[in-house]
Structure 1
Amino acid sequence: MATSLSSRLRAELAGLRDQGLSIHPRVLDAANRARTRVDGRDVVNLASNNYLGFADHPEIKARAEQYLREWGAGAGAVRTIAGTLRIHEDFEEQLAAFKHTGSALVLGSGFTTNQGVLGTLLQPGDLVVSDELNHASIIDGLRLTKATKKIYKHADPEDLDRVLAENDADGLKLVVTDGVFSMDGDIAPLGRLIEVARKYGAVTYVDDAHGSGVLGADGRGTVHHFGFETAEDVIQVGTLSKAWGVVGGYAAGHPDLRELLINRARPYLFSTAHPPAVVGALSAALDLVQREPEFMARLWENTRYFKAELARLGFDTLGSQTPITPVLFGEAEAAFEASRRLFAEGVFAVGLGFPTVPRGQARIRNIVTAEHTRDDLDFALAAYARVGRALSVAQG
């Protein structure tokens, strides 16, 4: 007897509830800023990826409005038919210049960018070697390919060397890593990874979702941070939805990469182009980060202060090197309870457990931004101190 839709939905949801994995997103009642209103409560926001505070910046909103009025509400088609407006190509040239790469192409999201680029590049007989903690979009993108897939230990160039030495291929060899890892906040040892990749004739593919706007001069990203931005054997992909405060994904690198993706990347070929307001906001964001370096300076000043104070309170931040600052609670229920208590104290910070992170490493992931004031951070730290003592986590 066939399974009905109702029974399938109810069984799956019941399973999620029984495992404590059912998600019920909180709802923001105001713009996503350092202080906002969530489910009717005014809070300090440590949960967003809005690193530079651009999501509600007046200059970015003004450029979005300008493009909306001049170019309309939507692009009207996919890029390859009638949806490529002049502003789309202008922004891609601006992005390539910013990234110091031979070309750049914008896609609908960071997630679909990984699907499109990996699906385009990798063919049967190719070899791809991926960091064990790479983002889910990389994992799903690789599942769509017929290349031989291997895993190396997290951020471990020696293990990457071992895997490449044990696995040969006549086709393309691709080493895939996040630039900044989204759950732990650590930076990939990119210089050493590229050195190993080149030893075996492999191309390095860097997902810089959490590095763009955060690392490198003017926020050019992890690849720039390590000095490889002009290398033609390095591919950069990422989102335009975190530090840039808007939405979208991009691929940047070899001069011919853009043309191949235009012809082969399915998410590009079959998705309507970004609305003009999005393009205007993104263009303004790239202008703003280069014109006003104080955004990045404040981001890192706040990051250093917040990490130091959490350490003083006795919290384990898992060696994070970036504004992504996890606070370890161990078991999922402890992290979720800490998140609930922080929210009651006026701090919005989300608990994460298995399967998002390994069992026994449940944590709250905090992201400070350039927009947070010292008062905001001190308010959050005082709440953390109280919650940590109540749950016997903080030692300070």
Structure 2
Amino acid sequence: MPQDPFDWIDRHHERRLAAGLVRDLRPRPADSPLVDLAGNDYLGLTRHPEVTRAAADAALRWGAGSTGSRLVTGSTALHARLEEELAEFCGFEAALVFSSGYAANLAAVTALTGPMDNGTLVVSDAGNHASLIDGCRLARAETAVVPHADPAAVRKTLDAHGGRALAVTDSVFSVDGDAAPLAALADACRAHGAALLVDDAHGLGVLGDGGRGAVHAAGLAGAGDVVTTVTLSKSLGSQGGAVLGPARVIRHLVSNARTFIFDTGLAPAAVGAALAGLGVLRREPQRAARARHVARELHRRVTAAGLEAVRPDAAVVSVRAPSPEAAVRWAADCRTAGLAVGCFRPPSVPDGVSRLRLTARADLSDRQVEEAAGTVVRTAPAV
């Protein structure tokens, strides 16, 4: 009898089940009663009436989908306008919009490096997001993984290489919410003529002047040797991603980035929503400061109660859990109490430490912040 080709999946599932690492989909209702500290709606714009109306208007005018890749039929006047406004807001020469932040990172890493035989070295922070890691793998370039947030290690690695190189890092790391030392990393790169690629997914809308991002805050926006990627699905309340940088880099991506050339363009509704979200941020820059304040307040309250949490540099608060099983139970108990929180555990965390991940939102009231922190403290597992 022929062997079942998918028997191995069942064995794999049983191992994950025994380790408490099975992931499940949990569809949320349209009007959830939970206070949401699990999503990434940092500025509270996902349901903002201007944003939702812009999404609806764009769909009515341009259609539900973009109908093709950006190079065929998937580019609209809305796409061009969003690229112009994003570049201007963040301080870069040009921008290119993708269907997701993941696709933007894959594009930037692969198109700016190449196979090992071309001599390009990618220097990647050990705490980088999976999309940057996958970009390194797909690029087939020589990759050196350096210790987390360590400019000296980057400098030492570049010293040993001596050729063309690209350093890649998150601006704000999604697991613990700590910020990369961007200015020092740029100095290390410039000492060797290397380029710097920064994933600013968690910085845009939260850090920098009026929410212009961590790269802008570090004084690196518009630099000829710096490229950044952003997502439209966090602070701007929409979906999609973009690469920003020198005009010649963006021109290169249009002709060489496979996730741009062969992927269907971002839907007009998402483009319209992102434009509206950017408009709200321009008009209400205080939302960025409020998101940071909420994160600091959550951190202050949970640590005052004796819990171990990483001090947030942006809008992510990471609270340590004693084990993967405890983290899952803790998140479930929070949900029962009316609070949605993120639950990060191996293999999603690079250090193997499980934690709850709380994401601050600018639209939370002081009372909601107090009650949310109280819920996290009250449901915490015994150590």
TM-score range, shorter chain: over 0.9
What displacement does 1:285 show? 0.8
- How many residues of Structure 1 are paired with residues of Structure 2 in the alignment? 380
Per the TM alignment, residue 3 of structure 1 is displaced from its structure 2 partner at its CA by 4.6
Counterpart AA for 1:314? G
Partner of 2:333: 341
Distance between the aligned counterparts of 1:201 and 1:14, measured in 2?
A: 49
Q: Is the 8 A contact 2:307 2:377 kept in 1?
A: no
The C-alpha deviation readout for 1:209-262, integer Å capped at 9, x for no partner, is 111111111211110011110201000012111111111111001111121111
SS of aligned partner of 1:80:
coil
Correspondences of 1:9-48 after superposition (within 5 Å): 9-30=9-30, 37=32, 42-48=33-39
State the partner residue of 1:183.
Answer: 175
Q: Report the residue type matching 1:288 in the other structure.
A: V
1:262-292 alpha-carbon deviations (Å, 9 max, x no partner): 1111111111112221111111111110111
Q: CA deviation at 1:330?
A: 2.7
Tell me the distance in 2 between the aligned counterparts of 1:72 and 1:385. 47
Check conservation: 1:119, 1:145, Cα contact below 8 A.
yes
Q: How does 1:223-302 map to 2 (within 5 A)?
A: 223-302=215-294
| 1:112 counterpart = 2:103 | yes
What letter is aligned with 1:392? A
Equivalent-residue separation in structure 1 for 2:170 and 2:128 (angstroms): 6
> Which residue does the alignment assign to 2:148?
154
CA distance in 2, matches of 1:182, 1:114: 15
RMSD: 1.6
Shift of 1:15: 2.5
Partners of 1:267 and 1:210 lie apart in 2 by 21
Contact 2:299–2:311 under 8 Å retained in 1: no
Query: What are the Cα deviations for residues 99-130 of structure 1, in whole angstroms up to 9, with x where unaligned?
Result: 11111000111111111121111122111111
Flag structure 1 segments of 5+ consecutive residues without an equivalent: 32-36
Q: What is the match of residue 382 of structure 2?
A: 392
Give the drift of 1:27: 2.3
Letter in 2 for 1:15: R
Q: Percent identity?
A: 35
1:303 and 2:295 aligned = yes
> 2:125 aligned to 131, 135, 146, which one?
131
2:7 aligned residue: 7
Aligned AA (2:18): D
Match of 1:34 in 2: none
Map 1:17-96 → 2, pairs under 5 A: 17-30=17-30, 37=32, 42-96=33-87
Q: Structure 1: how far apart are the matches of 2:246 and 2:178?
A: 27
Which SS does the other structure have where 1:365 is aligned? Answer: strand
CA distance in 2, matches of 1:277, 1:353: 34
Contact 2:295 2:312 in 1 (8 A): no
CA distance, structure 1, for counterparts of residue 101 and residue 353 of structure 2: 26
Q: Which stretches in structure 2 are left out of the alignment for 5+ residues?
A: none
Please tell me the residue identity of whatever aligns with 1:96: A
Report SS of the residue matched to 2:185: helix
Hey, what's the Cα distance between the residues in 1 that align with 2:3 and 2:41?
Answer: 43
- Whether the 8 Å contact between 1:113 and 1:250 is mirrored in structure 2 is yes
1:156–1:2 CA distance, 2 compared to 1 (3 A)? farther
Shift of 1:359: 5.8
Q: Distance in 2 between matches of 1:83 and 1:380?
A: 42
Q: The residue matched to 2:97 in structure 1 has which SS?
A: strand
The change in CA–CA distance for 1:8 and 1:392 in structure 2 (over 3 A counts) is closer
What SS does the aligned partner of 1:139 have? Answer: helix
* Residue in structure 1 matched with residue 366 of structure 2 by the alignment: 374
SS in 2 for 1:77: coil
Q: Is the 8 A contact 1:197 1:204 kept in 2?
A: yes
1:82 aligned counterpart, secondary structure: coil
The residue type paired with residue 213 of structure 1 is G
- Which piece of structure 1 moves more, 7-16 or 328-337? 7-16
Letter in 2 for 1:237: T
Q: 1:203 matched to which residue of 2? A: 195
Task: Give the ranges of 4+ consecutive aligned residues of structure 1 lying more than 4 Å apart after TM superposition.
Answer: none
Deviation at 1:358, TM superposition (A): 4.5
CA contact (8 A) 1:185 1:325 kept: yes
